[in-house]
Amino acid sequence: MTLREELLYELERARLTGEVSGEELAKKLGVSRVAVWKAVGKLTEEGFEIDPVKGKGYRLSYAPQVLSEGRIRALLPPALSDMPVFVYNETSSTNDRAKEAASKGVRRALFISDRQTAGRGRLGRSFYSPAGVGVYFTYLFTSVRPVEELCPVTPFAAVSVSRAVSELCGIEVGIKWVNDLYLDGKKVCGILSEAITSLEGGDENKIAVGIGINLTTGAFPEELQKKAGALGAPVDRCALAAKIASMLFKFEEDPLDRSFMAEYTARSTVLGKTVELDRWGEKTVGKVTGFDRNGALILDTGDGQKRTYSGGEISLREVKGGA
Which is closer to ligand BTN, CB of 48 or CB of 154? Answer: 154
237: closest CA among 119, 99, 120, 64? 64
Among 53-61, 119-127, 141-149, 301-309, which window interacts with ligand BTN (CB under 6 A)?
A: 119-127
Given a contact cutoff of 8 angstroms between Cβ atoms, the answer to whether 234 and 65 are in contact is: yes
Contact set for ligand BTN, span 195-234 (CB under 6 A): 210-212
The answer to the question of residue 122 lying near ligand BTN (CB under 6 A) is: yes
Residues in contact with ligand BTN, counted by CB under 6 A, come to a total of: 20
- Among 48, 58, 128, 136, the residue binding ligand BTN under the rule CB under 6 A is 136
Q: Print the binding letters for residues 74-113 with ligand BTN: x by CB under 6 A, - otherwise.
A: -------------------xxx------------------
- Among 14, 25, 71, 119, the residue binding ligand BTN under the rule CB under 6 A is 119
179: closest CA among 120, 122, 218? 122
The answer to the question of residue 312 lying near ligand BTN (CB under 6 A) is: no
- Among 71, 99, 120, 267, the residue binding ligand BTN under the rule CB under 6 A is 120
The answer to the question of residue 57 lying near ligand BTN (CB under 6 A) is: no
CA distance 140 to 184: 31
Span between the terminal Cα atoms of the chain, in Å:
59
Which is closer to ligand BTN, CB of 60 or CB of 192? Answer: 192
CA angle 2, 7, 8 (to 5 degrees): 100
Which is closer to ligand BTN, CB of 129 or CB of 143? Answer: 129
The answer to the question of residue 186 lying near ligand BTN (CB under 6 A) is: no
40: closest CA among 56, 14, 22, 66? 22
Q: Would you call 161 helix, strand, or coil by DSSP?
A: helix
Q: Which residues, in sequence order, are CB contacts of 207 under 8 Å at separation 6+?
A: 140, 141, 142, 143, 147, 150, 153, 193, 194, 195, 196
The answer to the question of residue 127 lying near ligand BTN (CB under 6 A) is: yes
27 C-beta neighbours (distance < 10 Å), count: 12
CA distance 31 to 85: 24
Least distance (Å) between residue 119 CB and ligand BTN? 4
CA distance 285 to 277: 6
Which is closer to ligand BTN, CB of 92 or CB of 246? Answer: 92
Least distance (Å) between residue 145 CB and ligand BTN? 22
258: DSSP letter = -
Q: In the chain, which residue ranges form alpha helices assigned H by DSSP? A: 3-15, 22-29, 33-45, 69-75, 94-103, 147-150, 153-169, 237-253, 261-266
Least distance (Å) between residue 42 CB and ligand BTN? 29
Among 8-16, 29-37, 58-66, 116-124, which window interacts with ligand BTN (CB under 6 A)?
A: 116-124
Among 117-125, 151-159, 271-279, 303-311, which window interacts with ligand BTN (CB under 6 A)?
A: 117-125
Which is closer to ligand BTN, CB of 57 or CB of 174? Answer: 174
Least distance (Å) between residue 208 CB and ligand BTN? 8
Given a contact cutoff of 8 angstroms between Cβ atoms, the answer to whether 276 and 284 are in contact is: yes
Contact residues for ligand BTN, defined by CB under 6 A:
93-95, 116, 119-122, 125, 127, 129, 136-138, 190-192, 210-212
